[in-house]
Structure 1
Amino acid sequence: MSKVTGRKKRIIITTAALLAVGGGAAFAYWTATGTGNTTTTAGSSTNFTITSTVAGDPLSPGGPTQTVTFTVTNPGTGVQKLSTVAATVATTTGAAWTAVAGCSAADFAVGDPTFTVTEIPANGTVVGTVTLQMIDRPGVSQDGCKNATVPLHFVAS
């Protein structure tokens, strides 16, 4: 029996030793702490694009009014608010138009643009109208305006 008892003791001690080594490894760990940060960049606004078409009879002093339909497009990637649209007889840069001798912006009246003040989604559009009329300037020859190409300049914000 003492042989069996010694053998049992060795098995128990060996098993206990293996469990202690194996069991201790299962519960061993390192403690740690950490933090993290990141940044991103917000975009910026993208200029609206404006296209237009004209309907109506040709302009003449005191004559018919033309209706100009304009479309404001938001080519940006996010929503942008359209608050104002202004239209003037001017060059593409907005400078005073006097490209035709004897005819200038003073010969024309531009109405107030009508459109809906709104937020335009990315790639969305808003359509509006504005009127254009050649005014009659009594005592002033407006012959310089005959067959003139009259530029209408839009600014949207």
Structure 2
Amino acid sequence: MKPSSQTPERKAERLRIERDEIAAAAKRVSVCLQQFMDDTTDPGTEALAAQYELNRILSLLSIDENVIGEAQYLSRFSATPSEIHHFLANRLPEDVHLNYQQAIGQEAVREATDDLRAYRNHPDSGLMKQAWRTGVDDAIDQVDPDRAGPFPSELIRFGEEAAR
């Protein structure tokens, strides 16, 4: 799901970038197909027709030869978490993506746990009731990544990915 705050200019630039990426991929396919045809004594009618069609379509396109990759596009603007997730989800195997999210989650939870411990051990905490201190200790134990395991336990999905 694209954020509604995207400007028409950004959408148009995004479409130009995507068109240029597709054209660049088509050019790579065309080069490989031409090499196959040059190296084969009888490349076949389908290969010849495919090469002709690719060259015909590419000749009609007016494209920017300096294609901007999606990673560069994301770094040029204020990318949303959903856009970043979509980028990673389309390029990383799910287990690798989960490991990446867990590395970030573990550090976030560790920081929160350390803050809770500092709060629990603050000199003024002696004035608190024992039940309160026990409750804070239990909360720390429940979220401590060294005891509770990795966070998140399942891949977090944003936008359209959440529906799958």
Output the TM-score relative to the length of structure 1: 0.24
- The structure with the largest helix share of the pair is 2
Output the TM-score relative to the length of structure 2: 0.23
Q: Which has the larger radius of gyration?
A: 1
